[in-house]
């Protein structure tokens, strides 16, 4: 069962921890809960909590013209508009809004492992953070940014082996940019192999309209060829399925979408890799939560630590993986 404490409802005031009423795997949020959550964490005009699709709890943040939507399950950002009329993220219209199911699109958090689990293949792909209920740790709003910090209770890990082993805190700051950081903490007395990613689905006009100059010249592991090592000798193109783990990417990545006349850049930190994914037509049709024509409208570009570049966290050690997204109209 859940509990909560309250601090009140003044802009700039930090709010304390709050948990949703959880029964089994279902998360229930009644209208009065929403009211009390807004009482405790809402900040007039900038931070608002409510029911999303299928009554799944969500939060909406604003900062001047900028808007952001996130679901508490997975601390999953589903919409980001830096200004009216520009949606930066792609969400599948066929996404499944169900407790325990990962949402297709937006920015899923892959944690505490990326891809298939190295030792236990029957564990779910990309870890359990994206299907777990996060707790609100604090909200804030001032002239610099509107922010929210969420935590994943280590004791709530779905498998005994993972309980109280590693904690996760995720902070989001919305201003003229979108800043976010995953902070992992090894709570155990033994080293922990951590792999993770900010699995961003960027909305695009069309695959052929997109260029990402920063990956030219980098080495990558090609998932489509059993992670064989390859060299990106010319500009990356998206004529078919692409699933690559680039090594030692630069901190700043720019991608240009001529069709939308937009240049999106992000600075990342704490990542050894950059994953680029587009499922292509066939794979898109095979996934029931992926729109059939969705492969033309999205590209995943993900700061990550994966495979041989996973992180070894010593007992008590912390790791930060973050990115700051900035959008410019050309
Ligand atoms: O990040 C790229 C990737 O690992 C691809 O291999 C593909 O599986 C994608 O993630 C989506 O994974 P999901 O588990 O969300 O279907």
Tokens 């590693």 — which residue? 166
pLDDT over threshold 70, residue 2: no
Among protein residues, the one whose CA lies closest to atom 8 of ligand 1: 115
Query: What atom in ligand 1 is closest to the CA of residue 197?
Result: 1
DSSP state of 281: H
Question: Rounded to a whole number, what is the distance in angstroms from the first to the last CA of the chain?
Answer: 51
Cis peptide before 112 (omega within 30 of 0): yes
pLDDT over 80 at 19, yes or no? no
Instruction: Write the residue with the smallest CA distance to atom 6 of ligand 1.
Output: 243
- 199 is a catalytic site residue: yes
Q: What's the confidence (pLDDT) of residue 216?
A: 96
Q: How confident is the model at residue 213 (pLDDT cuts 50, 70, 90)?
A: very high
Residue 321 pLDDT > 80: yes
Residue 40: per-residue pLDDT: 94
- What would the mean pLDDT of 5-33 be, rounded to a whole number? 44
Is the predicted pLDDT of residue 306 greater than 90, yes or no?
yes
For CA atoms 206, 211, 215, 219, give the dihedral sign: positive
Residues lining ligand 1, CB < 6 A?
A: 102, 115, 125-126, 199, 223, 243, 275, 277, 300, 302
User: Does the annotation mark 51 as catalytic?
Assistant: no
Residue 14: per-residue pLDDT? 41
Mutate-to-test residue for ligand 1 from 109, 114, 129, 199, highest number of ligand atoms within 8 A of CB: 199
Segment 209-221 mean pLDDT: 96
- Which of 90, 111, 126, 198 to mutate to test ligand 1, by most ligand atoms within 8 A of the CB atom? 126
- pTM, two decimals, is 0.91
Average pLDDT over residues 60-82: 97
| Residue 30: pLDDT band with limits 50, 70, 90 | low
Atom of ligand 1 nearest to the CA of 104: 15
Atom of ligand 1 nearest to the CA of 102: 15
Output the pLDDT for position 1. Answer: 38
Average pLDDT, the chain: 90
Instruction: Provide the token pair at 199.
Output: 């699995």
- CA-199 nearest atom, ligand 1: 1
Dihedral sign for Cα atoms in the order 109, 115, 118, 123: positive
**Contact criterion met (CB below 8 Å) for 106 and 114:** no
Candidates 169, 171, 296, 302; catalytic one: 302
Tell me which residue has tokens 């929403």: 34
pLDDT in tens, 154-206: 998 988 888 999 999 999 999 999 999 999 999 999 999 999 999 999 999 99
CA of 146 to the centre of ligand 1 (A): 30
104 alpha carbon – ligand 1 mean position (Å): 10
Q: What angle do CA 115, 166, 69 make, to 5 degrees?
A: 65
Give the ligand 1 atom nearest the CA of 125. 14
249 Cα–ligand 1 center, Å: 19
Catalytic residue from among 171, 199, 296, 319: 199
pLDDT value of residue 8: 39
CA–centroid distance, 114 to ligand 1, in Å, is 9
pLDDT band at 11 (very low <50, low <70, confident <90, very high): very low
DSSP 12: T
If one residue of 243, 271, 307 were mutated to test the ligand 1 pocket, choosing by the most ligand atoms within 8 A of its CB, it would be 243
Expressed in angstroms and rounded, the spacing between residue 300 Cα and the centre of ligand 1 is 9
- 306/113 Cα distance (integer angstroms): 8
| Protein residue whose Cα sits closest to atom 2 of ligand 1 | 277
Percent of the chain with pLDDT over 90: 83
Q: Give the mean model confidence (pLDDT) for residues 125-130.
A: 97
Per-residue pLDDT of 219-244, as tens digits, reads 999 999 999 999 999 999 999 999 99
């Amino acid at each position: 069962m859940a509990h909560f404490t309250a601090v009140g409802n003044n802009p700039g005031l930090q709010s304390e921890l709050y948990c949703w009423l959880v029964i089994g795997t279902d998360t229930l949020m009644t209208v009065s809960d929403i009211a009390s959550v807004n009482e405790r964490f809402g900040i007039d005009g900038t931070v608002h909590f409510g029911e999303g699709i299928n009554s799944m709890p969500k939060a909406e943040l604003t900062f001047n013209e900028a808007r952001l939507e996130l679901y508490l399950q997975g601390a999953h950002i589903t919409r980001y508009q830096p200004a009216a009329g520009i949606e930066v993220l792609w969400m599948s219209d066929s996404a499944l809004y169900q407790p325990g199911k990962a949402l297709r699109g937006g920015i899923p958090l892959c944690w505490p492992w990326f891809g298939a689990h190295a030792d236990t293949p029957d564990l779910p792909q990309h870890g359990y953070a994206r299907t777990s209920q996060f707790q609100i740790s604090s909200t804030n709003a001032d002239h610099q940014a509107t922010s929210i910090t969420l935590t994943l209770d280590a004791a709530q890990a779905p498998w005994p082996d993972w309980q109280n082993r590693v904690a996760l805190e995720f902070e989001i700051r919305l201003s003229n940019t979108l800043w976010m950081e995953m902070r992992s903490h090894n709570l155990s007395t033994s080293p922990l192999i951590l792999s993770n990613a900010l699995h961003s689905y960027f909305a695009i006009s069309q695959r052929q309209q997109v260029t990402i100059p920063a990956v030219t010249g980098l080495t990558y592991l090609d998932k489509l060829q059993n992670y064989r090592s390859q060299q990106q000798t010319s500009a990356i193109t998206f004529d078919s399925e692409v699933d690559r783990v680039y090594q030692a990417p630069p901190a700043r990545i720019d991608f240009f979408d001529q069709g939308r006349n937009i240049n999106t850049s992000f600075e990342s930190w704490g990542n050894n890799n950059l994953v680029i994914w587009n499922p292509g037509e066939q794979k898109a049709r095979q996934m029931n939560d992926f729109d059939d024509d969705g492969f033309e409208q999205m590209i995943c570009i993900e700061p990550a630590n994966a495979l041989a570049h996973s992180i070894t966290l010593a007992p008590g050690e912390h790791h930060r993986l973050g990115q700051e997204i900035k959008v410019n109209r050309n």
